[in-house]
A and B are shown apart, each in its own frame.
Chain A
Amino acid sequence: MAEALVSLAVLLAGLAFLLALWRFLAGPTAADRVVAFDVMTVIGISFIVILALLEGRGIYLDAALVYALLSFLGVIAVARYLERGY
């Protein structure tokens, strides 16, 4: 039962990644692409957690921890670039 629900969760996470990837490829401005990049990072964290559950290895969660800590750095760099030009 729980295995089937986790498999469904993998499928839904893939669908969400696909939708965000569409916005990344089609977004009219650079800021739209930055939003899609941020959303894809969050979906990636979620996917890493599901992967750790499927493989049964808790060490995989450290990569999700690094992403949760560092994902805002890139967005802040882009925002500074857009705002002030450096």
Chain B
Amino acid sequence: MAGLLDIVGGLLMVGGTAFLVFGGLGLVRMPDLFNRIHAGTKATTLGTLLTLAGAACLRPDWGWKLLLIAVFILSTNPLSAQVLARAAHRIGAAMSVKTRVDRLEEDQGA
């Protein structure tokens, strides 16, 4: 039954792009840089993976190429976010006033 797979694929694409919107919303609303990295990277990675899954449901013959894109995103996106967060911590980026604990600073101080 191809109609059911089409509807599931469409719903997965709408859900994935909704997660992209949530990532963008977190990027706008979060108070400091580290929260923005957190919101932007995690939500958009999940959103893109859901979109790729929906595309694979709609066109099953593109499955391998979409899987390759998903593997590359899953390996490079957290890498860039981690490198950027470490650089921002080293240059002393401003944290939100509600920040209670900074484990990286404690580890480097000890």
Contacts and interface: CB of A to CB of B under 8 A. Distances in A.
Interface string A39-51: 1001101100110
B27 A42 contact: no
Interface of B: 3, 6-7, 9-11, 13-14, 16-18, 20-21, 23-25, 27-28, 33, 36-37, 40-41, 44-45, 47-48, 51-52, 54-55, 58-59, 61-62, 65-66, 68-69, 72-73, 76-77, 79-81, 83-84, 86-88, 90-91, 93-94
21 contacts: A1-B3, A2-B10, A9-B14, A9-B51, A12-B20, A13-B17, A20-B24, A31-B88, A34-B84, A35-B40, A38-B80, A39-B23, A39-B27, A42-B47, A43-B24, A49-B52, A75-B80, A76-B80, A76-B83, A79-B80, A82-B91
